[in-house]
């Protein structure tokens, strides 16, 4: 893992992304989907922060808002000294060279009728980076950097494997020398055997180019391999945020513990899979979230007070934040209300 510098590259403050729903009838009340509801975090330059959570938690919408690919209802997104959330038009287009995205599906994110070299070169052409000769040379270098041969520029996407296509997507994202790269589930569509190769490539490129990653995932094993810090999302909010080592050693929020219990782990011939914490019910509706803790209706250790008032996100240990009223410090030790099943 990288040494953590002190300066923050990305700062997200009180981010809200709310989508109005079409009315079911003329007299029906207006409804709003609170996809992202008051999210704040910082990512130090040269490090990786993961946003994790189950489908519908808001992690991908958060990433799309950071990329300015979905409308922001309110809040601030700052990249270095630049306020991204207020940029529009040509100013936003100019700033885009500083932040790029690697999409989840390497199959649909490439134009099947466009040669691989042209796909990687497209951001350079759009943003007028260098001369045509310099662009050609840079595309060839990018192909080599991601483990492809420069002569493969002439091939079409269908002539590559899934892992190779994702390498093309990574090369395209790096074309404009971005500072921040958003990785939206970049290995979830790949075979298990290929995932480690792509993750190792991302780690190497980060080390060589000083990249900062916002990594979206639901796979805790992948997150542990690549990330410096983890933020767990549930129903549009961050409910726990911690450095990687502290989080995996001692997750505090009951939802985080349930997520961790689902990770296949074997020790001494015994597996934790049989002791997985199974959550009952479905998450509440993001249209009308409950007044208290949003996880309380599914929480195995919830108390009546949990469903009445929402707890704040508080720092329970250095850089370890948790949104749970039942997490406490007793005799100088942090006490979590739910523990991981023993191996």
Domains of the chain: 8-20+32-249 (3.40.50.300), 256-343 (no CATH)
According to the model, what pLDDT value does residue 301 have? 92
CA–CA distances in Å: residue 86 to residues 44, 157, 330: 22, 36, 45
**Which ranges of the chain does DSSP label H, i.e. alpha helix?**
59-66, 89-95, 116-126, 132-145, 162-174, 192-209, 220-226, 244-249, 254-261
Residue in the structure block whose two tokens are 């409308």: 71
User: What letters, b where the CB count within 10 A reaches 16 and e where it falls short, cover 105-124?
Assistant: bbeebbeeeebbbebbbebb
pLDDT grade for 265, boundaries at 50, 70 and 90: low
**Residues contacting residue 96 through CB under 8 Å, at least 6 positions apart:** 68, 127, 176
Rounded to a whole number of angstroms, the CA Rg of the chain reads 21
| Between 321 and 187, residue with greater pLDDT | 321
* Integer angstrom CA distances of residue 7 from 2, 43, 319: 14, 9, 15
Average pLDDT over residues 73-101: 93
Per-residue pLDDT, 341 = 72
Mean pLDDT in residue range 76-97: 93
| 63-72, 74-83, 152-161, 329-338: the lowest-pLDDT one | 329-338
- Work out the burial of residue 232: count CB atoms within 10 Å of its CB; fewer than 13 is exposed, 13-18 middle, 19 or more buried: buried
User: Higher-confidence residue: 290 or 268?
Assistant: 290
**What end-to-end distance do the CA atoms of the chain give, in Å?**
26
Task: Decide which of 282 and 195 is more confident.
Answer: 195
pLDDT in tens, 115-156: 999 999 999 888 878 888 889 999 999 999 999 999 999 999
In this predicted model, what pLDDT tens digit does every residue of 234-261 receive, in sequence order? 999 999 999 999 999 999 999 999 988 8
Q: What is the mean pLDDT of residues 50-77?
A: 94
What does the pLDDT read at residue 70? 94
Rounded to the nearest integer, the mean pLDDT of the chain is 89
Whether 52 shows a pLDDT value over 80: the answer reads yes
Flag whether pLDDT at 81 surpasses 80: yes
pTM of the model: 0.90
Torsion of CA 331, 336, 340, 341, to 10 degrees: 70
What pLDDT was estimated at residue 4?
45
Give how far the C-alpha of residue 67 lies from the chain's centroid of Cα atoms, to the nearest Å: 12
Coarse DSSP helix, strand, coil percentages of the chain, rounded to the nearest 5 percent: 35, 25, 40
């Amino acid at each position: 893992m990288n040494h953590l510098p002190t300066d923050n590259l990305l700062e997200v403050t009180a981010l809200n992304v709310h989508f109005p729903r079409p009315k079911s009838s003329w007299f029906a009340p207006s409804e709003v989907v609170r996809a992202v509801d008051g999210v704040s975090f910082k990512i130090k330059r040269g490090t990786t922060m993961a946003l994790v959570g189950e489908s519908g938690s808001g992690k991908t919408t958060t990433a799309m808002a950071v990329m300015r690919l979905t409308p922001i209802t309110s809040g601030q997104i700052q990249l270095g000294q630049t306020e991204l959330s207020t940029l529009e038009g040509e100013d936003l287009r100019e700033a885009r060279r500083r932040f790029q995205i690697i999409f989840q599906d390497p199959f649909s994110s490439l134009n099947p009728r466009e040669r691989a070299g042209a796909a990687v070169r497209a951001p350079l052409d759009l943003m007028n980076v260098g001369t045509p000769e310099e662009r050609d040379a840079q595309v060839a270098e990018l192909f080599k950097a991601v483990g492809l041969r420069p002569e493969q520029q002439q091939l079409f996407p269908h002539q590559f494997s899934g892992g190779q296509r994702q390498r093309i997507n990574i090369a395209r994202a790096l074309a404009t020398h971005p500072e921040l790269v958003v990785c939206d589930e970049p290995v979830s569509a790949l075979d298990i055997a290929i995932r480690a190769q792509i993750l190792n490539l991302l780690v190497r490129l980060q080390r060589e180019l000083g990249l900062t990653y916002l990594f979206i995932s639901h796979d805790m094993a992948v997150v542990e391999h690549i990330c410096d810090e983890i933020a767990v999302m549930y129903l549009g909010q961050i409910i726990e945020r911690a450095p990687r080592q502290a989080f995996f050693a001692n997750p505090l929020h009951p939802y985080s513990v349930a997520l961790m219990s689902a990770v296949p782990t074997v020790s001494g011939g015994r597996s934790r899979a049989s002791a997985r914490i199974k959550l009952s019910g479905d998450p509440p509706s993001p249209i009308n979230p409950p007044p208290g803790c949003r996880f309380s209706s599914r929480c195995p250790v919830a108390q009546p007070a949990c469903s009445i008032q929402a707890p704040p996100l508080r720092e329970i240990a250095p850089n370890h934040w948790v949104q749970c009223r039942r997490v406490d410090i007793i005799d100088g030790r942090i006490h979590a209300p739910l523990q991981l099943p023993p191996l």
